[in-house]
Amino acid sequence: MIAVIQRVTRASVTIEGTLKGQIQTGFLVLLGITHTDTREDLEWLSKKIVGMRVFNDAEGKMNLDLAAVGGDILLISQFTLHASTKKGNRPGFTEAARPETAIPLYEQMIAQLTADLGKPIQTGEFGADMKVELLNDGPVTIVMDTKNRI
């Protein structure tokens, strides 16, 4: 799994003109799932996201996690994170998991993030044409790949 984690002061996702999810302070997480991802990958990634200390403390140091700032998560599925751009100008997406693999893992990630954060998270809709808006705070953007955790 690849996750692009953006610290935001606000973020939202709209589908066909209807607001699907929105948060204030927290993380907008773009999640790409590949065909080799497992439950172990999502459990590790969820704990890393929820525990990530990138919010400023009283001294202005990035030292606080989501719980300490009362932050939320907006999770968006994004298969394009697994784009291959090695040949030509048209990206290939063969490393992105097919829906029959990706949807259950995406739903498990929603449940895992909710459990680890201790409150419901906001989401987009798998496979939908989504319009995502955010105000990146910092900017702080971190990319994590579960294949590089060792």
Say which residue, 13 or 148, is predicted with more confidence.
13
Residue 150 lies in a domain: no
- Would you state the pLDDT for residue 141? 97
> What domain range includes position 15?
2-134
**Could you please report the per-residue DSSP string of the chain?**
-EEEEEEEEEEEEEETTEEEEEESSEEEEEEE-BTT--HHHHHHHHHHHHH---EE-TTS-EEE-HHHHT-EEEEEE-GGGG-B-SSSSS-B-TTBPPHHHHHHHHHHHHHHHHHHHTSPPEE--TTS-EEEEEEEEEEEEEEEEGGG--
Residue 23 lies in a domain: yes
Residue 44 lies in a domain: yes
pTM of the model: 0.95
Band the pLDDT of 59: cuts 50, 70, 90: very high
Catalytic site positions: 78-80
* Span 66-111, pLDDT tens digits: 999 999 999 999 998 988 888 888 898 989 999 999 999 999 999 9
CATH (domain of 44): 3.50.80.10
How many domains are contained in the chain?
Answer: 1
- Would you state the pLDDT for residue 86? 87
